[in-house]
Structure 1
Amino acid sequence: MKTNIGISEENRQAVADELTKLLADEYVLYTKTRNAHWNVEGADFYDKHKFFEGQYEQLSETIDRVAERIRSLGHYAPATLKDFLALTHLTEKNHNDNSPLGFIKELLEDHETLCIHLRENIVPFADKYKDLGTSDFITGLLEDHEKTAWFLRSHLK
């Protein structure tokens, strides 16, 4: 059945294309945060283990919300690791440092990267593609990533 929500097919496609990149970023960040949760070492292991657990749980919810937003626009969400790796802005680093600070620095960089990409799309989604709903949606995600970046950054002072 045709999607008729007041946004042209061309605009819905453009927004969905950007959201698939966001979904890939969120999924890669989720995986990297799981890695930190599983492999962190050090004197404050338990605190950081729980800290990263809270972050990956939040990212899991975000992933679902982004995928559902893509579907609400009438498009399919990518759902393979191959797709995510092809679409993501993030990179995986060979990790020899399982210290809390090593993980925190890498995850902070990733959250800040997502903040930049989200911020770049807020106005185009609203103005160029006439999709105020998705513009509002990613504004909320931006706020979540800014807060997480703040929490991570606070461990580095």
Structure 2
Amino acid sequence: MTRFAIFAATASLCATSAAAEIVKPTDVTFVDGVIEASLTGTPGDPAAGAEIMDKGAGNCIACHAVTELDHLGFHGEIGPPLDGAADRWSEAELRGIVADAKQMFDGTMMPSFYRVDGFIRLGDAYTGDAHQGEVEPLLTAQQIEDVVAYLMTLKDE
């Protein structure tokens, strides 16, 4: 029974320290638009990142084309194609761009996916009313890491 108690306590401490590693949107440090360290301390999952690229929270392909994801249908042309993204930007640069592209690209229309403050006029979905309560980021810290992991697979051949 003592070994079980020690194991349970160790597992609990590990879970607590892992949860403590998540950087809140308000605590993110950008240096010239770049976020050097992981937001979670956990590697991103490229497969999960590819799913986020489609409709839903990320919906990256609404603005960007990705040849590998042609099976998903409509791809936008507002943003640059993401083919070869890993050759153009480092992992830290991609993390900064996905989290809040406005830190790197002044005037961009790309949404800030990991930001919760500083908005000029935040609405309540499609109601026409002002937002009430706390603002949640469009993507979680782990979703940011997943998208970055997927983008790091997009290399020119």
Q: Same-fold call, TM > 0.5? A: no
Please, what TM-score do these two structures have when normalized by structure 1? 0.29
Structure index of larger Rg: 2
Q: Is the helix fraction higher in 1 or 2?
A: 1
